[in-house]
Structure 1
Amino acid sequence: MFSNYPKQERLSDSDAQAGRKLTRRGVLQLGGLGSAFLIAGPGLLAACSSDTTPKSSGLQRGGSLQIAIGDASTTDVLDPAKSINQFTALLGGLIFDPLLRQDLDFKPQPALATKWSVSSDARQWTFDLRDDVVFHDGTALTSEDVAFSIARHLDKSIGSRLYGRLSASLKPEGIKTPSKTQVVLNLETPDGLLAVALASRYMFVLKKGTTSFDGKVSGTGPFELANWTPGASFVVKRSEKYWASGRPYLDEIRGIVVADPASRLRSVTSGPSDILDTVDFTLAPSVEKQSNVKLANLKSSFFVNFAMDQTQAPFDDVRVRKAFKLALDREKFLQVVFGGHGTISGDVPVLPSDPTYPANTLVKRDVEQAKRLLAEAGYPNGIDVELVTAPLRAGMVDAAVVFAESVKDAGIRVQVKQQPSANYFTSIWLKVPFYVSYWATRQSTEEAALTLVSNGTSNESRFANPEFDKLIQEARTSADEATRNQKTKQALEIAAIESGWIIPAIIDTLTVMKRSVQDVALNSMQILDMSGAWKGNS
C-alpha cells in the first residue's frame, strides 16, 4: 500500500562535499556544470511533492512566466494518449493531472490517487481517489472519470501510445467503479508493473465523455487553458479550483515555440523568455558566463537514438544493422555531441548500472568486423544511406553529423538530411528508413514494452522477435522483482544485438532559466512541473 509522497530531503553544500549517498537519478546540478546542489537545492525541486510549501524563501505570488520550447508541430493535439513531443507533454502537465506520478527513480507516487493496493497474484489493483478535486468547469472528479480515461487507452481506434502495453493485461470490462472515490482493475493476466504504466505521461485524467481536444479542454491541473495554437504557442491561467491549497503561485504561463536552438537560448539569456525546455550542451559554456541565468542538469534522463526500420532495405538484413552498431565510436559521440555528460550504452534504453542491463552488447567499436558484415550482406564496397534529423531536442542534429563522420571508416557513407521540426513526427517519424529520435528514460521493462515489443505503437525500428515479446510478457506479469529483472535483461540482450535501434549513450537533460525563476520541478515524464514555480527578483 502506498499512501504518501516521499519526503524530499533538502541537502546543503556540506552534504554534497561529504559525498552523501544519493539515489541513482536524484541529482540536480544548478548554477553551472561544475557546481552541484542536491535534491532540493536553491531554486529547484527534484521531484513532485504533496507538500505545498515553497522550497525557497521569499515566495512572491502572481506574475507570469514564459517558456521557450523547441519540439512542437502544427499537427499537435491535446489528447494525452497521443502526446508525442515536449510541447504537448508540457502543456498537458499544466492543465491535466495524472492518476499517479513517477519519481526520479521511476517509482509510482500518489497524485489523483491517494493510495493503491494490489492482490498477491497481481491480478487486481484498487485505487482510492482524492475526494476534493474538481475540473476547471466546476464538475467534481469521480471514479467514472478515471475509468473513462483508462478505458480510452484500450480502444485501438484512439491510437494511444499505451494501447499495446495496457491491452496486454486489461480489458474494458475489467474496469470497475464500486464507489465515487474508488477504481478497481480486474486483469486478464497478472501485471506487477501496472502502477508504473499508469504513471505514464499519456495517462492524464480526462473528464468522462471528452471527445474534442481542439477547444478549451477541462482538466484538473494547476492551470486552465486560455488559448493555444498548435506548433506555435499557448497561454494558461491560474486555476482557482486546484486541489493543492495555495497552488499554483503564478497567474499565467505562456509557451512559445522557438525551433532554432541558439535563438531559443537567446530568448532566455537576453530576451523575453524565462526558461527553455532543453539546451544543447555545446551552448552551455556561454551560459555559465552570464550572471542573469542558471543551469539545471537532470542526470541520465533521456537518450538520442538512431532508428533503422528493419522492414525496409538495407536494414532488413541483421548483418547491416550489426555493422552500423559496430562502426560507431560511442566515446567520440558522447564527448563531441554531449560534452561527456552521459553514460555509454550498448543500444538498450537503460544505464549499465541497471540490473536489467545485458552483458552481451555491441558497444565496443570494431570497424573491420563491420566491413566484413557489410560484405557478407552484399555490400563489399560499402553502403550509402540517408539519415534524417531535426533540431527537436538538444543534440539531435549534431548527433547525426557525428554519427556520419564516425562510421565512414567502415564504408558506411551517410548523407545527413535536416528537416524542419514542425512536421517531423508526421512525415518522418515511423515513416522513413533511417532517422534520429529521442526518448525520456523509463523503468526498463516499461520502456521495452512501449518501444520494442512487436505490437508497440512506438516501435521505431519495427523490431519483431517472438522470444523478446515472450520475455517482456513474462517480466511484466511477474510479481517478483528479481524475476522481472532477469527476464527483462534476457530480452534486452536480444534487442541489443538484433534490433534496429542504436542508442549510443544515456544523456543528461540540461535546462536554462533566469535566476528569478524559483522552485521549478524537473521530473522524468513531463520535464518541467510548474505547479510550485514562482518568480522572484533577479
Structure 2
Amino acid sequence: MKSLILFILSISLLPLPSVASTDKVLTLALGAEPETGFDPIYGWGKYNRPLFQSTLIKRDNALALVSDLALRWRLSDDRLVWSVDLRQGVKFNDGTGLTASDVKFSFDTAKQSASLHDLTQLERVEIKGDYSVEFYLKQADITFIDNLVNLAIVPKASYGAQYGLKPIGSGPLAFVRWDRNQQLIMEPNPYYYGQKPEFSKVIVTFSDEDSRYARLRSGQLDLAAIAPRYAKILPPGYKLWSIDSVDNRGIAWPMVATQADNIGNDVTSDAAIRQAVDMAVDRDVLVQQLLDGFATPAYSIADGLPWGPAQTQSSQPDLAAAKRLLEQNGWQVKQGRRYRDGVAASMTLYYLAGDTVRQQLALAVAQMVKPLGIEIKPEGKSWEAIYLQMHRQPVLLGFGSHSATEVRAVYHSASRGKGYFNSGYYSNPEVDRALDSAQAAASWSESLPYWQQAQALIAADRPWTWLVNLKHLYAANECLDLAKPGIEAHGHGWPLANNIEQWRWQCPSR
C-alpha cells in the first residue's frame, strides 16, 4: 500500500500540459485564406507570426530581436558562421521533442524548395549537439539573420507533402481542422513553452469584406479585419482598433521595352511616363478622401524604417509640370490622348479582384492621370491571372516588411522575373552595388548608409509609384482586449495575432 501511495504521489508531481484559462471560444475573421496552407517552408508566417510553429528568433513590438526557440545566437568574426543555442525540452504539439535535427531539416528543405525565403547565401547547416546548430554562409551577409526570424521550424519526423494541410508545430496554437473556404479551428498547444492563449478554442473564418461586416452586425464575430469604409459605421458593442503598419500599396511598372515571352511595355518603360504619373498622383486625397485618414502617403517600400529613404518627398501634385515633361519627351496630345511614334499612352492596371482598397486606389489613380492624356484601365483579376500579365502591364501590389531584405528582393536585378518581387524587370548596376554593399557590411549599423544610397537611386528611376501606407483596421468586441499590438507588416489580418497570448476577454464568457 505504501508503495502504491508513493507511486500515485509521484505521478501527481509530473508536469502536465496546461489548458486554457477560460472556456471562451474566440471567433475571428482575419482576411485572406492562405492558398497553399500553413507550411512555413513555402511562406506561411513570413509576414506574420506562424502561430502553429516557432521561429528561432522573433521581433517584439519595437521590432527588436528577442529569443524564441533560440536562447543565444552569435556571429563569427569573419561573419560567415551563425551559431545558435536552442531551448531544451521544447515539444511539438504531438508530444515529440524538438532538437537541432529539426532546425537543420527545416532550413535544408526550404533551401531545396521553391520557397519565399532567400537562402542563396546558406552553404550548409551543421548540428553541433542536440540543442546546438551552426549556419555556414557562402559569403558575409548581415541580413541572413532575418531567416532566423522568418523561417519557422517543422518536425523532421512527420513532415511531408501534405504538411501544410494539417501542420504540427511548437507554436502557441495547435491545428484542429481546416475547412477550405470556410474556417480554420485551433486550440492552445498544451506543450507550448511560453505564455499560452487563454481561450479554449480559436476559430478563424474566411469570407470577403462585405460578408465579414454582415457577420459583425449579426454578432457572429468577436473580431474582424475591416476596410476603411466600414471603420466609422461599426455595429454597437464593437470597438475600432487602428494599428500602424509598414504595409504599403503602389504600382509596379514594367521597366523594359516590349520583348518576347510576354515581357515589357513600350509605354511604361519610358521614364517620362512613370515620372508624370508620379507627379499627378495626389496622395493626400488618397489618404484623406479615399481612405478616411486611415493611411499615410507612401514614397518608398520602407518609409520611416531605419533602412528607408533618408528624406521624405513632397506630396504635392504638379499637373502642369507633368504635361511639360511629357511634351518634352515626345508625347503629344491627339484627341485627348498622348501618343509618341504611333504608340498610345494607354495601359491596363491590374489589381486583386475583391480587394476594395486596391480597387479604389486603381480607380482614383486612373482619374488623376486622365488630364495628362494617359489612359489607365483598372482591371480586377485573381492572382493567377495577374501573374500571367505582370511582366507586361502595371500591377497594384503591396509589400512592407520588418526586414531590409525585402528591398533587395524587390529592386535587385538578380530578382528580375522571380515571383511577384521584381516583376517589372528593373535593373540598375548602381543600385545592385549599393544593395550588395549593404548585405556585405560588417554590422547592421554599417549597412544602413548603403540601404539609403540604394533608396535614393531607386527613387530617381521610379520603378514603382508608391501610393499609401495603410493603417490596419479591426473591429473587436468591446470585451476583447488586444493588449499592445506591434507595428504590422504586409498582410492585413494575420499579423494582429502575433501577440495572441496577451489577448484577454474582460467580460464573463458566454
* TM tier, smaller: 0.7 to 0.9
Contact 1:517/1:534 (8 A) holds in 2: yes
Partner of 1:149: 106
SS in 1 for 2:85: strand
Report the RMSD for the aligned CA atoms in angstroms: 2.8
Summarize the Cα distance change of 1:337–1:244 in structure 2 as closer, same or farther, 3 Å threshold.
same
Once the 2 structures are TM-superposed, how far is the Cα of residue 492 of structure 1 from its aligned partner? 0.9
The one-letter code of the counterpart of 2:364 is V
Alignment equivalent of 1:67, drawn from 21, 25, 28? 28
Deviation at 1:225, TM superposition (A): 1.5
Contact 2:215 2:221 in 1 (8 A): yes
Matched with 1:238 is: 188
Secondary structure, aligned partner of 1:154: helix
Distance 1:68 1:139, change over 3 A: same
AA partner of residue 496 (structure 2): I
Q: 2:268 is matched with which residue?
A: 315
Pair 375,513 (structure 1): closer, same or farther in 2 beyond 3 Å: same
Q: Which of 199, 203, 222 in structure 1 is aligned with 2:172?
A: 222
1:100-111 paired onto structure 2 within 5 Å = 100-111=57-68
2:495 aligned with 1:533: no
* Secondary structure at the counterpart of residue 147 of structure 1: helix
1:42-61 to structure 2, matched below 5 A, reads 61=22
Which runs of structure 2 are paired with 1:111-510 in the superposition (5 Å)?
111-155=68-112, 158-163=113-118, 166-167=119-120, 169-171=121-123, 173=124, 175-200=125-150, 203-208=151-156, 210-212=159-161, 213-244=163-194, 247-259=196-208, 261-276=209-224, 278-287=225-234, 290-311=235-256, 312-313=264-265, 314-346=267-299, 348-352=300-304, 354=306, 356-359=308-311, 364-375=316-327, 379-381=331-333, 382=338, 383-390=345-352, 395-419=357-381, 424-429=382-387, 431-432=389-390, 433-443=393-403, 445-456=404-415, 457=418, 458-510=421-473
Give, in angstroms, the shift of residue 244 of structure 1. Answer: 1.9
Change (3 A) 1:482 1:60: closer
Q: Residues 389-430 of structure 1, C-alpha deviation per residue, up to 9 Å, x if partnerless?
A: 2366672222112212222222222222233xxxx3322147
Number of residue pairs aligned between Structure 1 and Structure 2: 457
- Relative to the length of structure 1, the TM-score reads 0.77
C-alpha change, 1:132 and 1:353, in structure 2 (3 Å) is closer
Cα gap change, 1:467 to 1:109, in 2 (>3 Å): same
Please tell me whether the aligned partners of residues 100 and 112 of structure 1 are also in contact (alpha carbons under 8 angstroms). yes
Note if contact 1:143-1:179 (Cα within 8 Å) is conserved in structure 2: yes
Corresponding residue of 2:39: 79
User: How far did 1:450 drift?
Assistant: 2.9
CA shift at 1:178, angstroms? 0.3
Name the SS of the counterpart of 1:528 in structure 2.
helix
User: Residues 101 and 199 of structure 1 are in contact (CA less than 8 Å); yes or no, is this contact kept in structure 2?
Assistant: yes
Give the Cα–Cα distance (whole angstroms) in 2 for the partners of residues 138 and 283 of structure 1.
43
CA distance in 1, matches of 2:164, 2:308: 41
> Residues 360 and 340 (structure 1 numbering): CA distance in 2 closer, same or farther, change over 3 Å?
closer
Equivalent pair of 1:300/1:342 in contact (CA under 8 Å): no
Rounded to whole Å, the distance in 2 between the matches of 1:416 and 1:490 is 33
CA distance in 1, matches of 2:223, 2:439: 38
The CA distance in 2 between the partners of 1:359 and 1:119, in whole Å, is 34
Asked if the contact 1:520/1:533 (under 8 Å) is kept, the reply is yes
Report the Cα distance in structure 2 between the residues aligned to 1:394 and 1:148, rounded to whole angstroms. Answer: 40
Taking structure 1 as reference, are residues 116 and 229 closer, same or farther at Cα in structure 2, changes over 3 Å only? Answer: same
Contact 1:295 1:512 in 2 (8 A): yes
Paired with 2:309 and 2:27, the residues of 1 have a C-alpha distance of 39
Give the whole-Å Cα distance in 1 for the aligned partners of 2:388 and 2:434: 24
TM-score of the superposition, structure 2-length normalised? 0.81
Give how far 1:89 is off.
6.3
Say which SS state the counterpart of residue 395 (structure 1) adopts.
Answer: helix
The Cα shift of 1:454 comes to: 2.4
State the AA in 2 paired with 1:343.
T
Q: Percent identity?
A: 20
**Post-superposition shift, 1:138?**
1.8
Name the CA shift for 1:63/1:439 in 2 (closer, same or farther; >3 Å).
same
Q: Which residue of 1 aligns with 2:478?
A: 515
